[in-house]
């Protein structure tokens, strides 16, 4: 019900109706009445929660001044960027905020801070952005799972001079957050990787430094290890019981103390979903037995905690960690008496659909590793992390074991066993989950296994060998990146990679977050099962066209790189090439008349060797099933005019406007000579350059040329399907514009 209301789909409707039919088939009128009342209540509650979220959302960017209450453990310093979760007092809500640190000493103060402080701020606030590309991470939904709807870009931030009244509960929470930050500062002094693993497993804190380790675990299909990381709650409770028993403290007193400790540790542990699930189950079990004299089963406590979680944060149903945590914990509870091998196989079968839906890849070794890794993680990794963190005398020994463990995982992750599968449709995710349930029930196993394997193979082939071709103008913000692929993925070309112009000069300002080349371009390619490009064409040297080249090359194999003649000699390009995974002999300089390894691509510019500037931009014509498409990089007006003088008969149907719609490109005589039937403009939202320029848009209107802008429409697609070519965009995903290109 939460899923249907917050993200409607017909697959969800079918699942919901199937569930209702199953309840009706029980034949119990009492169960049916209770179910009906619960459905009415829950649907009403989710609608109400959603309305409150929408009411709090600030749709249009607004200038604001106000106060933020900030706990020291709820912000992260990344280079010169401060990422904050804080309570906005005037708005009576929690917000995500960003602030650019101005000085190195200011950064040091933030890193050392351990107190809850109220700050005054000024800046701009707006609802958290939606994704603008297909399969892009939905950050708005992620923040909604934490009951956050707005984001603030802070311009000025300083400690508040006025005292803000706070309740006893607020002061208690502030103290617990203070303790957590002190613990984090202590753990940061431990050797690596003990420090990073202790932060994420014990305190639920994940830094950028942990991404490399986590990426190796992800490649092995073992992401669920951190979804089940609440297993250390078992160690915590067992340790307290053992200690109190030796101190001759009664069982009743012990349970009272544990009931107090569990919620406190929940806050100290960062309130992560997996941790709160584990704490909640232990807490409910103790409460029911102690105060209500009821012994509830682990399944019942699991169910109750899930309901409480969804009541508090309905959008957490979309969180990958929450999905894995609750699903795999349920599988563990239902298979207590199963062998390690059978349990590993079942955990794998249930996790595959969710992992493919979220990461698009799977490792052939995962089934084997699942059998081995769960006891390895539970009886070696977790004890080493706990003991190494709490007992300084054994820290080095525990860290040595962890170093070897991480090295083993890294070595295995480097095996060529990882499969880029792509993102399956939602129908198949539900279908595979249903098959996994039937397999666990134990009937018709051979038929079900055969059906499972054949369906995975069918979907794999469907994703990797599409029946249609497409040109995808990716919304990369202020930059350019375009994908061209033919049916069955016979030919795959990427023109430019996007990238941000960096003005950072000092080392302390360097940020470690992923580039949008990884999170948008490579993410889209992987979601379509694309792990290799036949060619990458870099039109010129500007960072907003080539900046993401190194980061993309580490995720996607690139066979050939084409650059305008002369650019391959530039130190800036050579610097990027060294940082990439591309070898020098795979770089090919081109100019007019040069042939490349695709007969549908015709190089029209540059005419001679240059410096990779705007004037030297690679201009290429692509024949897309009889529809000529032109890509001009950032070519300036003078060279546009020279181009049509050289090629007076050049005409195109689809024109990718030069220089993001700047007035320095798209000369009226150039546009008039080409006579395009449609224009595409790639530019960032509210960019500092004012792209696209009104002069350029007026030129298009004067020549009666319709256009789409990525800043307004997001990803734009030109699709060849069933012998027809249609244009669609991400913002209007259900609206497809047809044009006659004959």
- Tell me the pLDDT tens digit for each residue of 387-408: 999 899 999 999 999 889 888 8
332 and 220 in a common domain: yes
Mean pLDDT of 36-42: 93
Strand partners, 154: 99, 123
465: left (phi > 0), else alpha (psi -120 to 50), else beta?
beta
Is 73 in the same domain as 39?
no
Burial label for 249, CB within 10 Å (0-12, 13-18, 19+), is middle
> 541 and 572 in contact (C-beta within 8 Å)?
yes
CA count, 13 A, side-chain hemisphere, 70: 26
pLDDT digits (tens, 9 = 90+) for 248-272: 888 888 888 888 988 898 888 888 7
Band of pLDDT at residue 471, cut at 50, 70 and 90: very high
Whose CA is closest to 196, among 205, 133, 15, 455? 205
Q: Is residue 82 part of a domain?
A: yes
Residues 407, 315 share a domain? yes
Task: Assign residue 145 the CATH number of its domain.
Answer: 2.40.50.140
Res 53: pLDDT: 92
Q: Do residues 226 and 364 share a domain?
A: yes
pLDDT of 720 reads 84
- Looking at the domain assignment, is residue 180 inside a domain? no
Q: Indicate whether 225 pLDDT > 70.
A: no
Q: What is the DSSP letter of 634?
A: T
- 222 has a pLDDT exceeding 80: no
Beta carbons within 8 Å of 639's beta carbon, 6+ residues apart: 605, 615, 617
The phi, psi pair for 210, rounded to 5°, reads -85, -10
Structural domain total, the chain: 5
Q: How far apart are CA 157 and CA 195, in angstroms?
A: 31
Is residue 93 a contact partner of residue 128, using CB atoms and an 8 Å limit?
no
How far apart are alpha carbons 698 and 632 in whole angstroms?
19
Is residue 408, in this structure, part of any structural domain at all? Answer: yes
State the pTM of this model: 0.92
* CA-wise closest residue to 350 among 336, 366, 338: 366
pLDDT averaged over the chain?
A: 88
Domain of residue 453: give its range. Answer: 434-464
pLDDT digits (tens, 9 = 90+) for 538-574: 999 999 999 999 999 999 999 999 999 999 999 999 9
- Residue 734 pLDDT greater than 90, yes or no: no
> Would you place residue 291 in the very low, low, confident or very high pLDDT band (cuts 50, 70, 90)?
confident
Q: Are residues 206 and 162 located together in one domain of the fold?
A: no
Question: 134 and 214 share a domain?
Answer: no
Alpha carbons 603 and 594: distance in angstroms, whole number: 7
Domain match, 244 and 294 both: yes
Q: Are residues 132 and 256 in the same domain?
A: no
CATH code for the domain in which residue 604 is found: 3.60.15.10
Long-range contacts of 512-515, Cβ-Cβ distance < 8 Å, separation of 24 or more = 512/78, 512/79, 512/208, 512/209, 512/211, 513/78, 513/81, 513/208, 514/211, 514/551, 515/547, 515/548, 515/551
- Which of 129-133, 208-212, 484-488, 650-654 shows the lowest per-residue confidence on average (mean pLDDT)? 208-212
- What is the C-alpha separation between 476 and 488, in angstroms, rounded? 25
pLDDT of residue 739: 57
The stretch 365-389 carries a mean pLDDT of: 79
* Lowest-pLDDT range of 144-153, 154-163, 491-500: 154-163
Whether 306 is covered by a domain: the verdict is yes
pLDDT attached to residue 512: 81
584 in a structural domain: yes
- Confidence (pLDDT) at 231: 61
The reply to whether 311 and 199 lie within a common domain is yes
What torsion, rounded to 10 degrees, do the Cα atoms 163, 166, 168, 171 define? -70
pLDDT greater than 90 at residue 733: no
The answer as to whether 429 is a domain residue is no
Cα–Cα distance for residue pair 637/653, rounded to 1 Å: 20
In the predicted structure, residue 353 carries a pLDDT above the cut 90? yes
- Is 239 found in the same domain as 155? no
Q: Which residue has the higher pLDDT, 347 or 525?
A: 525
Q: 367 with 313, same domain?
A: yes
Strands of 678-681's sheet, edge to edge? 601-605, 619-624, 627-631, 654-656, 678-681, 707-709
- Does residue 735 have a pLDDT over 80? no
Q: Give the model's pLDDT for residue 213.
A: 57
pLDDT surpasses 80 at 374: no
What pLDDT band is residue 219 in, cutting at 50, 70 and 90? low
Residues 69, 217, single domain; the answer is no
| pLDDT at residue 444 tops 60 | yes
């Amino acid at each position: 019900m939460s899923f249907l209301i917050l993200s409607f789909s017909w697959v969800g409707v079918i699942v919901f109706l199937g569930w209702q039919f199953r309840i009706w088939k029980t034949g119990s009128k009492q169960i049916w009445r209770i179910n009906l009342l619960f459905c009415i209540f829950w649907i009403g509650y989710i609608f109400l929660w959603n309305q409150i979220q929408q009411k709090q959302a600030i749709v249009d960017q607004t200038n604001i001044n106000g106060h933020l209450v900030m706990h020291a453990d709820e912000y992260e310093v990344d280079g010169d960027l401060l990422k904050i979760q804080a309570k906005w007092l005037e708005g009576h809500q929690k917000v995500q905020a960003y602030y650019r640190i101005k000085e190195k000493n200011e950064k040091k103060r933030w890193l050392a801070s351990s107190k809850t402080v109220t700050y005054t701020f000024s800046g701009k606030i707006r609802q958290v952005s939606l994704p603008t590309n297909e399969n892009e991470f939905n950050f708005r939904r992620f923040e909604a799972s934490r009951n956050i709807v707005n984001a603030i870009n802070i311009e000025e931030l300083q400690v508040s001079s006025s005292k803000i009244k706070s309740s006893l509960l607020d002061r208690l929470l502030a103290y617990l957050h203070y303790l957590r930050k002190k613990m984090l500062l202590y753990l940061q002094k431990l050797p690596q990787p003990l420090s990073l693993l202790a932060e994420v497993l014990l305190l639920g804190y994940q830094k950028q430094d942990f991404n490399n380790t986590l990426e190796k675990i992800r490649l092995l299909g073992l992401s669920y290890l951190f979804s089940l990381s609440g297993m250390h709650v078992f160690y915590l409770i067992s340790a307290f019981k053992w200690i109190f028993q030796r101190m001759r403290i009664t069982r009743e007193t012990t349970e009272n103390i544990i009931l107090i400790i569990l919620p406190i540790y929940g806050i100290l542990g960062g309130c992560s979903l997996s941790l709160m699930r584990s704490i909640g189950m232990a807490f409910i079990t103790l409460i029911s037995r102690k105060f209500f004299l009821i012994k509830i089963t682990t399944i019942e406590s699991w169910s109750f905690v899930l309901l409480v979680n969804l009541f508090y944060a309905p959008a957490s149903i979309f969180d990958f960690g929450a999905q894995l945590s609750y699903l795999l914990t349920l599988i563990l509870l239902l298979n207590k008496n199963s062998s390690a091998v059978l349990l590993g196989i079942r955990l794998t079968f249930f996790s595959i659909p969710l992992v493919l839906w979220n990461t698009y890849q799977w490792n052939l070794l995962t089934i084997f590793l699942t059998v081995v890794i769960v006891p390895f993680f539970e009886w070696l990794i977790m004890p080493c992390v706990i003991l190494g963190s709490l007992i300084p005398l054994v820290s080095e020994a525990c860290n040595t074991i962890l170093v070897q463990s991480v090295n083993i995982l890294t070595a295995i992750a480097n095996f060529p066993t990882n499969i880029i599968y792509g993102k399956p449709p939602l129908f198949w995710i539900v279908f595979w989950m249903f098959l996994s349930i039937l397999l666990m029930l134990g009937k018709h196993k051979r038929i079900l296994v055969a059906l499972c394997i054949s369906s995975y193979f069918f979907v794999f082939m469907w994703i990797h060998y599409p029946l249609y071709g497409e040109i995808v103008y990716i919304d990369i913000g202020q930059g350019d990146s375009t994908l061209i692929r033919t049916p069955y993925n016979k030919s795959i070309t990427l023109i430019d990679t996007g990238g941000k112009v960096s003005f950072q000069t000092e080392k302390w300002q360097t940020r470690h977050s992923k580039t949008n080349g990884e999170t948008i371009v490579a993410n889209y390619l992987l979601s379509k099962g694309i792990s290799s490009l036949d060619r990458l064409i870099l039109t010129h040297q500007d960072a907003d066209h080539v900046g993401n080249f190194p980061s993309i090359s580490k995720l996607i194999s690139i066979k050939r790189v084409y650059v305008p003649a002369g650019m391959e000699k530039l130190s800036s390009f050579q610097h990027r090439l060294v940082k990439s995974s591309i070898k020098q002999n795979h770089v090919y300089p081109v100019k007019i008349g040069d042939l490349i390894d695709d007969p549908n691509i015709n190089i029209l510019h540059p005419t001679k060797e240059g410096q990779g500037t705007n004037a030297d931009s690679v201009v290429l014509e692509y024949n897309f099933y009889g529809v000529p498409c032109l890509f001009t990089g950032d070519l300036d007006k003078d060279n546009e005019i020279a181009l049509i003088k050289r090629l007076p008969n050049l005409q195109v149907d689809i024109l990718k406007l030069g220089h993001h719609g700047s007035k320095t490109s798209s000369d009226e005589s150039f546009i008039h000579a080409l006579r395009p039937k449609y224009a595409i403009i790639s530019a960032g939202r509210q960019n500092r350059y004012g792209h696209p320029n009104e002069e350029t848009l007026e030129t298009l209107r004067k020549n009666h040329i319709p256009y789409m802008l990525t800043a307004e429409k997001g990803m734009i697609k030109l699709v060849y399907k069933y012998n027809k070519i249609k244009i669609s965009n991400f913002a209007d995903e259900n609206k497809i514009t047809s044009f006659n290109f004959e």
